[in-house]
Amino acid sequence: MINNLKSNFSLKKRLVLINRYYKITKFYSFLKNTAFKGSAAIIVFVLFILGLELFVLDFNSLLHHLVVSYSSTFVFSFFLASETVLGIIPPEVFIAWASKSANPWLFLFILATISYVGGIISYLIGNLLFLIPSIQNHIENKIAKHIVNLRKWGGLFVLLGAISPIPHSIVSLASGLIKYNFKYYLIWSLFRYARFVIYALVIFKVFI
């Protein structure tokens, strides 16, 4: 009984300290801003596409044309390159493309897996850059803000990189650069799948 009370008190004290740390490092403010930007990003994307559809071009026809003109292997390969090299093209574009495929949810799962693998490749590239000090220093200066946040919040920042507009590939690269625990990186990055499902629930309703 006494041991249980001590254990509960110790856990409560630890949670209080963790909460205080996150307040001091402004994690909650960052989380609020990220959530707002994430919501705004998908709203802007959908409104932009609907605007194109109404006033400029038939976007649904364009997506159908892409499905017919380019093999899924080509699109998946292109997406892997994009997700590995700093997220050149927003995943939302590929999710919209998947909505016109023969099996949208299967294609969505493949896209999410490709994005997950692309992050792993970025992580490994970050690890390799450690062997080239001049390039490592240059990259670290370019993504210094992400590295600082990663060191402050660890896995939670990897999670945010997986589900928010923060480029997943950049967070993955930063994780590799500072040699963040690879096992924990893999676990937190699994939330990348959640991001694709959440966005698909909105985008599929627009384009299917």
Per-residue pLDDT of the chain (208 residues; tens, 9 = 90+): 555 545 555 767 777 888 888 888 888 888 778 777 777 777 777 777 667 666 665 656 666 667 667 788 888 998 999 888 766 778 888 888 888 888 899 999 999 999 999 999 999 998 888 777 777 777 778 788 888 888 888 888 999 889 887 888 889 988 998 889 999 999 999 999 999 998 898 888 765 5
d(CA 77, CA 71): 10
Query: Of 23, 208, 197, which is closest to residue 109 (Cα–Cα)?
Result: 197
d(CA 132, CA 128): 8
Query: Of 65, 56, 79, 60, which is closest to residue 206 (Cα–Cα)?
Result: 60
d(CA 98, CA 67): 8
For the chain, the structural domain boundaries read 25-207
For residue range 53-81, what is the model confidence (pLDDT) as tens digits? Answer: 666 656 566 666 676 677 888 889 989 99
Model pLDDT, residue 5: 46
